[in-house]
Structure 1
Amino acid sequence: MLVTAVLSAYAFSMDSAEKITRYHALDSWRGICACMVALFHFDVISHLSFLPLTRNAYLFVDFFFVLSGFVIASNYRSRLAEGFGSGRFLLLRLGRIYPLHLVTLLLFIPIDAAKDGVGPNLLQAIVTNVLLLQGLGVNPQNWLNFASWSISAEFAAYVIFASVASRIGPAVWPWLIPIIAGPVVLATVSPDGMNATYDYGLVRCLYGFALGIVCFDLRERFPVLRAPLVPSVETWLEAASFMFVVGYVSVAGNSVTLQVASPLVFTLVVLVFAREAGAVSRRLTMPFMLAIGTLTYSIYMLHPLVRAVVRAILMVVERLWHTELFVSYALSSGHEPTKVISVNGSLWLGDLLQIAMLLLTLLLSVATYRLVEEPGRNWVRRLMDRRKVGTVRSVQPAFDA
């Protein structure tokens, strides 16, 4: 039912929407990354949390940025240079990200009000979130939906991309600036290194986004990167890059240099899986995996809400049953200990809780995809279509004359 519901909505949106180039295997990759980020943020003492891959899963956010730059360049760089219109492009991107952002913002306001009270901080948090400024260094910490910092940073990247593509065209040199400066700033200035969010989140986003644009440019300039290979070689390339990412992210937490270089690794993954020619890509384009990929944005935006609700319920249970369900522990290396969930000290029960939280996130994501994401996106597209028709009609008499 999950797969059917999501893919039917997905098919409808593709039939009624402006045609864009999609990379289905990479969409599934993005869905896997969203699930890993969710497991990282759930903060549960479990076998899953102690896996090095999970402990460093915050790095998978950078895969989103690289893939976003690649896909946006693929679909809009030439069109913006040819007069597609920056305003039209930005409205379409707002229609993609803002409806769900607004819904989760409204849900988090009473949560934060109950936790910290109503005051200047909450007011600032609401204003900055409404204006998509929360990931641009204007706040002293993450407020409300902590995952939305990346949405703020990414929309700022869209603004910069539209300006560069429409005024400078498909030149690559402007994107070399964040690729060179980004790692330096993140390694030397950012207090949390590559795990920058509300403070240096835009630097982090532009670094990965620019790599994605350059990745697309390289693929276009050098046909060898798109040329088909022997199927067994394609499969070997995909399997090797998959295992390389798993191993790389697992050990990257021990080195700032490795953390900062992770977007380069994700760029390699994008180049390999954009080909969609191996057996791993065939597995990634199975219906269930496509559904997970389609739900990526909802998974990413909803998992903090699931985390907050589960923690609130367990706090009530802890008080009523006079049991200890939270302990002070640092699940990520280099971070201060925080209150994390511990289910009777059992790692196995922790695993079950994390899996249940992830499944709940997936189920809620189906609902928000159908009820929020798609309606919001389609409304903006219809608005753009009406404006386009109105413009054509207004200039028609001039042509007739």
Structure 2
Amino acid sequence: MNTDASIARAAPRRFEALDSLRGVCAVLVVMFHMPVASHWRDWGLVQHGYLFVDYFFVLSGFVIAHAYAGRLKTAKDGGRFMVRRLGRVWPLHVLMLGCFIGLELARLWFHIDMATPFTRDRSVEAIWANLFLVQSWHILPYLTWNGPAWTLSAEVACYLIFAGLVLVAPKRFRWIGAVLAVIGAVLVLMYARRWMNTTYDYAVPRAVYGFFLGCLLQGFWLALPRLKGRASTALEVAAVVVTCVFIGWATGPITVAITLFFVVVVWVFAGEDGALSKLLDHPALVTMGRWSFAIYMVHMFVLTVMMIVARKLDWVPGGRRIDFGSVWINDLFVFAMFGLILVLAVLAHRFVEQPAQRLIDRWTAVKREG
């Protein structure tokens, strides 16, 4: 295990390769949700793309433990930690929730499609659960509003548990967290109807499973042996290939094992010792990683509007996927839609996400000095 001092010394480091991988996973989640009959739409890696979300949970646990395990000493520290974490996700979440509410008002006022406004997954009651980021705490019967935001709700639960464990049992929180991770995996395996494709119901156990295994990994990370040079490159390639093959193949209860694959991926790439890590350190991929949260948050709104337009223009002959009659044209349309998502994500990152982070950082810095 790392001592608090060693963690504090290491905390400023940013894991660029892991951040770039987060960007790649965000793109694959977008591809999973993209309702277009492209060449790759039926590939197992895309069909099971929901599993890439579990990389976010493992990475989050690893990075949060790395940055905060030695810094939370008092209840005031815990409160500041929660404010900083919420400050990084809540503003953009609220913006996108507002966009979906605006779309619902357009349905109400202008009858833009046949959907009944403010019903079922778009109910007024669900707005409050989304505002307080508790919509995935098994209190609603389905995904609501901006569906992908369920991960934020689940992560907030992990942050609360993490802060509580570190404050109460700073030397044993990783082991207690590991027990919670096992319990989370068992709950998903035994009770989630679609196993790891669980969101509004067993999202918190799913997230706890990944998050606290990430915390446990971080505790051992500096002590674990690492390969160098070509051996490290071979290990990186093997980790990526095996994980992608598993995702492309896995269905049913075995999908619960994906978190273990991502634990290995985080361990392998955290050291940034191989050629793949060097590739992931390219500024373009690192930048994509920094945009990943915005990409993840804006994409469902773009796809929802796209489907409303597509149905009006008869681009959805089968009722579920956009199809222009040529798979090559479909591919070009996917790239165009992703380009739009990327542009909006960059704007959201620059004008919402970053200013909010700077504001919260300044506010908590003032509190620390007071």
TM-score, normalized by the shorter chain, greater than 0.5:
yes
Structure 2 CA distance, aligned partners of 1:170 and 1:381?
27
Residue matched to 2:253: 256
Residue matched to 1:44: 36
Q: Is the 8 A contact 2:45 2:248 kept in 1?
A: yes
What does the per-residue CA deviation read over 1:210-234, in whole Å, with 9 as the maximum and x for residues that have no partner?
11011111214x2424xxx431111
Q: Is the 8 A contact 1:153 1:201 kept in 2?
A: yes
Q: Secondary structure at the match of 2:321?
A: strand
Shift of the 326–124 alpha-carbon distance from structure 1 to 2, 3 Å rule, reads farther
What does the per-residue CA deviation read over 1:247-295, in whole Å, with 9 as the maximum and x for residues that have no partner?
1111113x421x1000000000000000101110111010110111010
Structure 2 CA distance, aligned partners of 1:256 and 1:125?
30
Shift of the 224–84 alpha-carbon distance from structure 1 to 2, 3 Å rule, reads farther
Residue matched to 1:123: 124
2:175 aligned to which of 148, 173, 176:
173
Q: Secondary structure at the match of 1:143?
A: coil
Q: Is the 8 A contact 1:112 1:144 kept in 2?
A: no
Q: Secondary structure at the match of 2:225?
A: helix
The reply to whether residue 215 of structure 1 matches residue 211 of structure 2 is no
Alignment of 1:325-340 (within 5 A): 325-328=316-319, 339-340=320-321
Q: TM-score, normalised by structure 2?
A: 0.90
Q: Is the 8 A contact 1:81 1:170 kept in 2?
A: no
Question: How many residue pairs end up in the alignment?
Answer: 350
Structure 1 CA distance, aligned partners of 2:187 and 2:224?
34
Structure 1: gaps (5+ residues): 1-18, 319-323, 329-338, 392-401
Pairwise CA distance, 1:20: 3.2
The reply to whether residue 245 of structure 1 matches residue 225 of structure 2 is no
Q: Which amino acid aligns with 2:318?
A: V
Residue matched to 2:368: 388
Shift of the 223–177 alpha-carbon distance from structure 1 to 2, 3 Å rule, reads closer
Shift of the 93–189 alpha-carbon distance from structure 1 to 2, 3 Å rule, reads same
2:208 aligned to which of 169, 193, 206:
206
Structure 2 CA distance, aligned partners of 1:217 and 1:163?
17
Pairwise CA distance, 1:305: 1.0
The reply to whether residue 267 of structure 1 matches residue 269 of structure 2 is no
Pairwise CA distance, 1:309: 1.5
Q: Is the 8 A contact 2:175 2:216 kept in 1?
A: no
Structure 2: gaps (5+ residues): 1-10, 108-114
Q: Which amino acid aligns with 2:316?
A: L
Shift of the 342–188 alpha-carbon distance from structure 1 to 2, 3 Å rule, reads farther
Residue matched to 1:395: none
Q: Which one has a bigger Cα radius of gyration?
A: 1
What does the per-residue CA deviation read over 1:180-209, in whole Å, with 9 as the maximum and x for residues that have no partner?
222222122111211100111111111110
Q: Is the 8 A contact 2:228 2:273 kept in 1?
A: no
Structural RMSD (CA): 1.7
Residue matched to 2:351: 371
Q: Secondary structure at the match of 2:71?
A: helix
Structure 1 CA distance, aligned partners of 2:334 and 2:171?
44
Q: Secondary structure at the match of 1:327?
A: coil
What does the per-residue CA deviation read over 1:4-33, in whole Å, with 9 as the maximum and x for residues that have no partner?
xxxxxxxxxxxxxxx733100000000000
Structure 1 CA distance, aligned partners of 2:205 and 2:119?
30
Q: Which amino acid aligns with 1:59?
A: L
Residue matched to 2:303: 307
Identity %: 35
Structure 1 CA distance, aligned partners of 2:76 and 2:59?
22
Alignment of 1:99-138 (within 5 A): 99-113=91-105, 114=107, 115-118=115-118, 122-138=123-139
Q: Secondary structure at the match of 2:361?
A: helix
Q: Is the 8 A contact 1:81 1:167 kept in 2?
A: no
The reply to whether residue 347 of structure 1 matches residue 344 of structure 2 is no
Residue matched to 1:231: 229
1:78 aligned to which of 67, 70, 78:
70
1:97 aligned to which of 85, 89, 104:
89
- Deviating runs (4+, > 3 A) in structure 1? 81-84, 118-121
Q: Which amino acid aligns with 1:178?
A: L
The reply to whether residue 193 of structure 1 matches residue 185 of structure 2 is no
Pairwise CA distance, 1:387: 2.1
